C-alpha cells in the first residue's frame, strides 16, 4: 500500500490506528477515579506527544541513519515557532501558511548551519551544532528583540495587521484551519469515561502520520541506504565515487524541516514563541527521546517522545498528598517511610526517575524500547516455533505411518 512493503504497511496502519484513537486509548481510567491522574488523553498533552513525535522522527533521519549527533536541533524548533507566530501576526490566523513558512525557514537555517557544521564529524560536529543553537538562543533572547520580542516571547496582539483576516472584532483571534478553531474540542461521555476529541490534536496527528510515512519512505529509499552507508564507512563511500557531503547535508536539512514543522505546530496550538524553546536542554531532550525509543528504528523516536512527555506531564504531577493516599492502608510509621523513600522520584524529581530509566535502557537495551519489544516478541515467537516443530514432526510421522 502507498508504495510500502507489507511489514511497513502494518506498522503504518498500527500507528494510524493508535494516533486516531489516542483520545480513547490514553484515557483508560474513568474520570474521577483514583487512577484518573494517569490519564494522558487531554488535548494539550496529546498534541505534545505527536508534535515531539514529529521532532524526534526528523531527528532520527539525521542521527539514526547517518550517525551525526546534532546537539542543536532545538534551534530549528524555535525558528519554526517564531516563523509561525509572525505569519499569524502579519498574514492570517490560518495555520497552513504559518506551518509552511516554519518548514521553509527551518530548512533555510538548517542549510546554512549544516553547511558549516558538516565540515567536521563526530564530537566536533556536535559541538558546532550546539554552538549554533546557543548562538540562536542568545540572539533571540537579546539582540534580535525587535524580531523575537526577547524575554517576553513573541505573541499575537490586537493591532497586528493580519492582512488576509482583516481587523478582528473583540478579543484576540485564535488559530484555525479554514474556520475550524484549533482549541475546539468535543467531549464524549461514555458511562464514567470522558474522551476529548480536539481539532488541534487531529491536525497535529494528521501531520505526524504524513511525517511518519515520509520517514518510512526515506528509510526504504536508495537515499536512506546511502545515509546508512555514511554511518557505516565514509572512507569506502568516498572511494566508491559517492560524495558524502551533500548526502549528510540533505539529511540535516530534512531533519531541520521536521523540527521546523514541529515548532510551527507548537505555535499553531498556542500562538506564542519564546527563546527558551531553543535552549540546549530542548536539543538534549530530542536526543534522549530518540535514543530511549531506539535510534535508527522507524517507530522508536515516536515511542521515546511519548514516553518522555508522559513522564514530564504525568509523573511530575504526583505529590506527597497522593502518595499518602496510596499508602494509607499501611501503619502510620511505615506509610511515612514509604512516602519519604519515593518522594525524590516524583513531582519535581521526575527527572531523576527518567534519568534512571534512561540509564537502564542504554545499558540493557542499547536499541531502545524498540529492542525491548523485539526481544519480547522473539521470546514468544521462539515458543511458537517450538510448538510448530512438534506439530510438523507429528505430521511427518503420520505420513510415514501411512
Partner 1 sequence: MGILEVKGVNKRFGGLQALGDVNLSVKENSVHAIIGPNGAGKSTLLNCLVGKLIPDSGSVMFDGKSVLGRKPHEINQMGISRVFQTPEIFGDLSVLENVMIPCFARRDGAFRLHAYETVRKETDIREQAEAMLEDVDMLDKRHMTASSLSRGDKRRLEMAMCLVQAPKLLLLDEPTAGMARADTNNTIDLLKEIKAKRDITMCIIEHDMHVVFSLAERITVLAQGTPLVEETPENIKGHPKVREAYLGEAQV
Our finding on whether 5 is near partner 1 (CB under 8 A) is yes
Say which residues have a Cβ less than 8 Å from residue 335's Cβ, sequence separation at least 6.
Answer: 324, 327, 328
Residue 250 found at the interface with partner 1 (CB under 8 A): yes
220 binds partner 1 (CB under 8 A): yes
Cβ nearer to partner 1, comparing 230 with 289: 230
Determine the Cα–Cα distance for residues 375 and 6; give it in Å rounded to an integer: 21
In the three-class reduction of DSSP (H, G, I as helix; E, B as strand; rest coil), residue 274 is classed as coil
333 contributes a contact to partner 1 by CB under 8 A? no
Which residue reads 531527528 in cell numbers? 59
Per-residue contact string for residues 180-219; x = within reach of partner 1 by CB under 8 A: -------------------------------------xx-
Q: In whole angstroms, what is the distance from residue 107 CA to residue 97 CA? A: 15
- Single residue of 33, 152, 236, 320 touching partner 1 by CB under 8 A: 236
Tell me the window of 29-37, 145-153, 235-243, 374-382 that interacts with partner 1 (CB under 8 A).
235-243
| Shortest Å, Cβ 173 to partner 1 | 37
Of positions 37, 187, 233, 397, contacts partner 1 by CB under 8 A: 233
If residue 175 lies in a helix (H) or strand (E), which one and from where to where?
none
Q: How far is the CB of 107 from partner 1 (least distance, A)?
A: 13
Considering only residues 258 to 287 of the shown chain, the ones binding partner 1 according to CB under 8 A are none
Q: The dihedral of CA 184, 85, 274, 100: what is its sign?
A: positive
Residue 64's region, left for phi above 0, alpha for psi from -120 to 50, else beta, is alpha
Q: Which is nearer to partner 1, 3 or 167 (CB)?
A: 3
Q: Is 178 in the site for partner 1 (CB under 8 A)?
A: no
Beta-strand runs (E) in 2-112: none
Contacts of residue 302, Cβ cutoff 8 Å, sequence gap at least 6 = 15, 53, 56, 57, 208, 212, 293
Determine the Cα angle at 365 with ends 362 and 371, to 5°: 130
Q: How far is CA 224 from CA 118, 251, 291, in A?
A: 18, 9, 19
Shortest distance, position 302 Cβ to partner 1, whole Å: 20
Q: Report, in Å, the least distance between residue 58 CB and partner 1.
A: 13
CB of 245 to partner 1, least distance (A): 8
**252 binding partner 1? (CB under 8 A):** no
Which stretch, 33-41, 164-172, 232-240, 307-315, contacts partner 1 (CB under 8 A)? 232-240
Could you say whether residue 235 binds partner 1 (CB under 8 A)? yes
Residue 1 engages partner 1 in binding (rule: CB under 8 A): no
The SS3 of residue 162 is coil
Q: Distance between CA 223 and CA 228 in Å, rounded?
A: 9
How far apart (Å, rounded) are the C-alpha atoms in residues 346 and 330?
20
Residue 57 interacts with partner 1 (CB under 8 A)? no
> Under the criterion CB under 8 A, does residue 231 sit at the interface with partner 1?
yes
Please say whether the beta carbons of 100 and 108 come within 8 A: no
> Which positions touch partner 1 (CB under 8 A)?
3, 5, 217-218, 220-226, 228-229, 231-233, 235-244, 246-247, 250, 254
Amino acid at each position: 500500500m502507498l508504495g510500502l512493503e507489507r511489514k511497513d504497511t502494518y506498522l503504518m496502519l498500527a500507528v494510524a490506528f493508535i494516533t486516531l484513537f489516542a483520545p480513547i486509548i490514553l484515557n483508560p481510567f474513568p474520570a474521577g477515579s483514583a487512577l484518573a491522574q494517569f490519564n494522558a488523553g487531554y488535548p494539550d498533552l496529546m498534541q505534545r506527544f505527536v508534535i515531539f513525535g514529529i521532532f524526534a522522527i526528523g531527528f532520527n533521519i539525521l542521527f539514526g541513519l547517518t550517525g551525526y549527533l546534532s546537539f542543536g536541533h532545538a534551534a530549528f524548533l524555535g525558528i519554526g515557532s517564531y516563523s509561525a507566530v509572525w505569519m499569524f501576526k502579519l498574514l492570517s490566523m490560518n495555520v497552513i501558511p504559518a506551518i509552511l513558512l516554519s518548514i521553509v525557514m527551518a530548512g533555510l537555517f538548517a542549510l546554512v548551519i549544516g553547511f558549516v557544521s558538516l565540515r567536521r564529524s563526530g564530537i566536533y560536529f556536535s559541538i558546532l551544532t550546539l554552538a549554533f543553537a546557543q548562538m540562536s538562543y542568545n540572539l533571540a533572547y537579546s539582540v534580535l528583540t525587535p524580531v523575537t520580542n526577547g524575554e517576553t516571547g513573541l505573541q499575537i496582539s490586537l493591532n497586528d495587521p493580519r492582512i488576509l483576516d482583516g481587523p478582528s472584532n473583540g478579543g484576540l483571534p485564535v488559530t484555525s484551519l479554514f474556520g475550524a478553531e484549533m482549541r475546539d474540542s468535543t467531549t464524549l461521555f461514555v458511562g464514567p469515561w470522558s474522551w476529548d476529541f480536539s481539532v488541534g490534536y487531529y491536525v497535529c496527528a494528521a501531520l505526524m502520520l504524513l511525517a511518519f510515512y515520509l520517514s518510512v519512505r526515506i528509510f526504504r529509499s536508495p537515499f536512506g541506504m546511502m545515509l546508512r552507508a555514511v554511518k557505516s564507512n565514509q572512507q569506502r563511500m568516498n572511494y566508491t565515487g559517492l560524495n558524502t557531503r551533500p548526502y549528510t547535508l540533505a539529511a540535516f536539512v530534512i531533519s531541520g524541516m521536521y523540527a521546523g514543522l514541529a515548532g510551527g505546530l507548537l505555535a499553531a496550538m498556542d500562538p506564542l514563541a519564546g527563546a527558551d524553546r531553543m535552549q540546549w536542554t530542548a536539543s538534549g531532550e530530542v536526543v534522549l527521546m530518540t535514543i530511549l525509543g531506539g535510534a535508527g528504528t522507524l517507530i522508536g523516536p515516536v515511542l521515546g517522545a511519548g514516553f518522555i512527555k508522559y513522564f514530564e506531564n504525568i509523573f511530575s504531577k504526583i505529590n506527597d498528598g497522593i502518595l499518602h493516599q496510596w499508602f494509607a492502608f499501611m501503619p502510620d510509621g511505615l506509610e511515612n517511610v514509604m512516602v519519604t523513600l519515593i518522594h525524590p522520584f516524583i513531582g519535581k524529581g521526575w527527572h531523576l526517575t527518567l534519568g534512571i530509566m534512561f540509564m537502564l535502557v542504554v545499558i540493557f537495551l542499547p536499541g531502545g524500547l524498540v529492542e525491548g519489544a523485539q526481544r519480547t516478541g522473539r521470546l514468544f515467537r521462539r515458543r511458537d516455533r517450538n510448538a510448530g516443530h512438534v506439530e510438523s514432526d507429528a505430521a511427518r510421522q503420520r505420513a510415514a505411518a501411512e
